[in-house]
Structure 1
Amino acid sequence: MKRILFVCFVMLGITANAQTGYQVGSVATDFNLRNVDGKNVSLANYKDAKGYIVVFTCNTCPVARAYQDRVEALNKMYGPKGYPVIAINTNDPAASPGDSYEKMQERAKEKKFSYAYLEDPNHVYTKKYGANKTPHVFVLQKTANGNEVAYIGAIDNDQEETNAQRDNYVQNAVNLLLQGKKPMVTYTKAIGCSIKWKKESSSK
């Protein structure tokens, strides 16, 4: 009996360690990060929003770049309906020079982003949300309790745009939220590049 209890506690510990960052149902903290236009942006700036599509992404990851047009389409589709896209660059520019603030500005201008593209140079919100890939999406719903996480994961299951039976996870989630319903799928595995973290200083 003691051995069974020990194994259970070990498994609970492994599960707890694996669950980092926000979970579905968590209330997300607001942020105040610099946009590519030089102005700081927070969730509170979107007074008429019903929720948000927060996309942790970057300039350099081939997967993130492949999804940029789809992220743009999400903003044009759902921004007017109250669910704007807010993109956040996760990568440390020292570890990934192509993700510097200046390169962010260049990419946003080149692709004519219609949404905010923010930098998180110290990974504060990347870690708080629990993003671990680029892209990694968190759909938030504005409620009386705050901005609750309603969906976490991938944009869809068609990275190469060859899947005839594509599941548009984010679209499906937002469509149901707009109908006053909960998403049927609330979590999927984000597929993309690993985040380029800031190296810890070895000096004491």
Structure 2
Amino acid sequence: MKNIVILISGGGSNMAAIARAAQKEAWQEKRGLRIAAVISNQADAPGLALAKNLGLSTDVLSHKSFDSREAFDAALMACIDQHAPALVVLAGFMRILTPGFVQHYAGRLINIHPSLLPAFTGLNTHQRAIDAGCRVAGATVHQVTAELDHGAILAQAAVPVLPGDTAQTLAARVLTQEHLIFPQAVRSFF
């Protein structure tokens, strides 16, 4: 059995899309893949209740309980490693990870980013795409490297930027595509 650990910080919609695909497509029975745990750095993350409702094991490790980013990442690695992950998935995990963390999971750490990388790394991607006059925007699943929002691209999906779009309307359209490509990318990883 190959274990997947998913990290979240908020609503968990991408985590749920992966979990629902895993259930619908019987990943455990047909592929030997299982979501071993969902871990959040936010105790009040709505995605934790969603994960529990999907029958997934959850854990919380608050970054606020640690004096440094390195100390948090070391504790997070220990928490993740209890599940012997073949893959660690960042599904809306809103923390910049230390190089040591990234190195520890090198080759088995993926993220989804709400832009067509390499364009618009970092935050506020939808507004930046609108401000730049882009005609298309989208989402990218990529391998995580020590450089923020870089790494090999595993999947992308594009959506049109429509006249009158706001960051919120564009984000909603991009999110529907994230829910399609992220489970596909996780499945294809194996």
- TM norm structure 2: 0.37
Larger CA Rg, structure 1 vs 2: 1
TM-score, normalising length from structure 1? 0.35
Kindly indicate whether structure 1 or structure 2 has the higher relative contact order, using CA contacts under 8 Å at least 6 residues apart.
1
